[in-house]
Every structure is written in C-alpha cells, then in structure tokens.
Homo-oligomer: A and B are copies of this chain.
Amino acid sequence: MQRLVSSDPGFAAAFDALVNARRESDADVSADVARILADVKARGDAALAEYSQRFDSHELASDCDWIITADECKEAYEALDGELRDALELAAERIRAYHADQLPANRDFTDDAGVRQGAIWRAVDAAGLYVPGGRAAYPSSLLMNAIPAKVAGVERLVVVTPTPQGKTNPLVLAAAHMAGVDEIWRVGGAQAVAALAYGTDRIAKVDVITGPGNAWVAEAKRQLFGVVGIDMVAGPSEILVIADKHNRADWIAADLLSQAEHDPTSQSILITDDAGFADAVSAQVEAQLVELATCETATASWNANGAIIIVDNVADAAPLADQLAAEHVELAVADPEPLLKAIRHAGSVFLGRMTPEAIGDYVAGPNHVLPTGRRARFASGLSVLDFMKRTSFIALDDASLGRIGPAAVSLAHAEGLPAHAKSVELRLK
C-alpha cells in the first residue's frame, strides 16, 4: 500500500504513476488465441474435444459430456439451502426490475418537412455467456449477464463453461435455472468463445458474447469483435472510497478489502481528508486481513496496488476520481450529491455511509459488470442495450421528397456519386 498526500511536492507525479500503473498481466496470449480460434473455425467439435481434454482434463464424448441439461439445473436449484435460494431469488427479482426499466423506447415521428423517421430496438437472436470455471464461477455473475439478455428479449441464451475434471458448480447451475438459460455447454477457454462465434456442428453460433474470463477468454472476445458483438474488454477491477473522518474505520477497511479479495491485480484506493482517519483505516485493514479466508489474495492486492490519498478537503477528491475513472466509487460522506455531480467518470457510484459496494455486487439491481481499468472514461456497465440493436427507418412521399430531395442531389454531385443523385432526380421529375 502506498500513501500519498496531495499537498506534498511530487504528489502530481506520484498520482499519475498510480493512475497509469499497469496491473494487467504482460503475457501476450494473442498468437495462442489466434491459433485456437482458427482451429475451432476449421475443425469445430473435434478441436473443442481436444482442447477440453488438454486444458480441462474433461473428455467430450457422449452428449452428457457436452451438455448440462435443464433438469440438472432444476435439480441444483431445488437442492439449494432455503436461505440461499431466497437470497438468489431476491437478487434475480431486483436485477430483473432494474433492467426491465432500462428497455429503450422505439421512435416514430414525422417532422415539419413531412419526413417520417424513427428507430426500432430489437433483441439479438442469440447470445452467448461465458462463465468461468473454478473460483471465479459466481452465481451472481450469471444472473447479472443472463437476466439483462432475457429482459432484452433474447430467444436463445447459451452458456459455455469449463468443467475441469468434469466438475460442475451447483450454485451456477441453480442460477442458470432461475435466469432461464436455454443451453449450457461444458466447454471453456478461447475455444468455447470461438465455438460461440463461428458455430460448430453441435453448438449453433450466437450474435453477442458477454461474460468474464481469463486472459485467453478476454483476448478471444477481443479478436472476435466484429464477427460477433461483445460487451467490453475487462481488465483488473478497482474500488475508490472517498470517506471523511466521520466514518467508522472498520467499515471502510472492509469495503477496501471487499475489492482486494477478488484478485491480486485488484486495486483499492481510499481518499480521505483526515490523516488520523487514514491511519485508523490502515490499521483496520491489517487487523481484518489476517482474519479473512481470502487473506492471501487480499494481502497481495493491498500491498501491490492499495493506496491511501490524503487531501485537504473531500471536494478535492473529484478531479482525482475522474483521473482514476474507477469501476466502483463509494461516497462515504453525509451529503454525497455534490460529489456525484462533480465526478464525471465512474462505473457505478455508491452513495452515503450505508451503501457498501458489495450491495451492488448482489442485490441492489444495477449491473455489477462495469468498466474496469480506467475505461469508465468511455464505457458503461452491462445493460439490456448490449443484447439489442437499433434499426432506423425513413419514409418520404412526393411532397417531402420535393422538399429535401434537391439538397441530396447537390451533395451527391459534390461528392462525385452520380448514381446517388440519379436515384433522387428520377423521382423528382
């Protein structure tokens, strides 16, 4: 963890270094991924079977090696502990309500020139969702990806997930049942992304691919951008907590650790206006770390990437927050509204002392798939829009073409496109 004080000489340079520090792995997997994609495109299911054997020690032979059935998901759901099932149901219901309210309106209007114009939003036909195997297989992530797709109206929602040594994750299956996932294939890695994008004999291709994954999965999505739609490039995630001294240090420490425990590349940053409070939080982080089952990961993250920044006034945090453009920003102050207005770049903002970020991970309703690695400067969280596309339309008649057609003819000639001009001129005669 590093500690920066905004009034120190050299603060600007140190803060710049913090903003620009690369936390992503330097491993260049692009050539490996390109090879895997080309192989799956050429050889389909045979390539999938080989990679599954090699990377996941999972043999894809009979149908049940390939597919997790709806019945298996239902059984997993029914076997859930009651409290956990209620918690997942509450989460699903709240995510569904938030995203339903997000559905865009179509447009259809006729302007003063008599030109009818508009746009129709429609769901894509099929969406693929990558679900990691192992410890990053979170039922909450499945809900956060699958529910917006279904709310958008996607007819065919396909999950791919590696099942190392054949092992499945019952919580993920239960969540798939709740979200109405249509197919689950037991394949993972770049090869699963390739199968979704190109299609194989078994797996029909999809139009959009979302969901988290390791470096191979992320690179596969990046390389296939344009062949299919993808949600975004995900990088190491982060939390920025802006807290004055009137907070409990143990609460704020837990908030910082809730990010740090995700991954050693995660980043937790506190900005506060009080050096004594900074000390108290720092001490609480150390005290809580040792009690965590996730101690090793959280310690690695906090030591390598954690930071506490002391400013004169919490209002000074806004321009720093904009440079950090963090995935999560907590505003642990009595009146968070001025900071909410002042901070332009953030994935999601958690307002006030009683809104820990973890609430947003599970049950608040807004999506927890958010732009990471400073991408909140230009990217948004996952939404129903990621599973929809817009068709515009235009309708003219004799009168409206008479009004705006001649201008189109002028412009077409000026651009050296005579057939464009002619298609209008013939109708103007």
Contacts and interface: CB of A to CB of B under 8 A. Distances in A.
Interface of A: 83-84, 86-88, 90-91, 94, 97-98, 101-102, 104, 107, 109, 111, 113, 115-117, 119-120, 122, 124-125, 135, 138-140, 171, 207-208, 222, 225-226, 228-229, 232-233, 235, 248, 250-251, 254-255, 257-258, 260-262, 288, 292-294, 298, 336, 340, 343-367, 370-371, 375-381, 383, 385, 389-398, 400-401, 404-408, 410-412, 414-424, 426-427
Given A124-B378, A397-B354, A251 B101 contact: no
A96 to B, nearest CB: 12
**Chain A interface main SS type:** mixed
Contact of A394 (B261, B348, B398): B348
A363 B377 CA distance: 32
A377 B125 contact: yes
A412 B362 contact: yes
Contact of A225 (B222, B362, B407, B412): B222
B396 A354 contact: yes
Contacts of A171: 414-415
Contact of A86 (B135, B229, B396, B407): B407
Given A87-B410, A115-B364, A358-B420, 19 more contacts: A87-B411, A117-B364, A125-B344, A222-B226, A254-B426, A294-B417, A343-B391, A347-B392, A349-B392, A351-B393, A352-B396, A354-B397, A357-B423, A359-B401, A359-B408, A363-B404, A364-B394, A378-B389, A381-B390
Contact of A380 (B117, B350, B390, B407): B390
Number of identical protomers: 2
A119 to B, nearest CB: 7
Given A405-B359, A424-B358, A417 B208 contact: no
27 contacts: A86-B407, A87-B414, A90-B407, A102-B119, A116-B351, A120-B340, A171-B414, A207-B377, A226-B235, A250-B426, A251-B426, A254-B422, A257-B419, A258-B419, A288-B422, A348-B392, A348-B393, A353-B427, A354-B396, A356-B424, A359-B396, A359-B405, A362-B407, A362-B408, A364-B396, A376-B391, A383-B390
A138 B408 contact: no
Contacts of A109: 101
B419 A294 contact: yes
Contacts of A254: 419, 422-423, 426
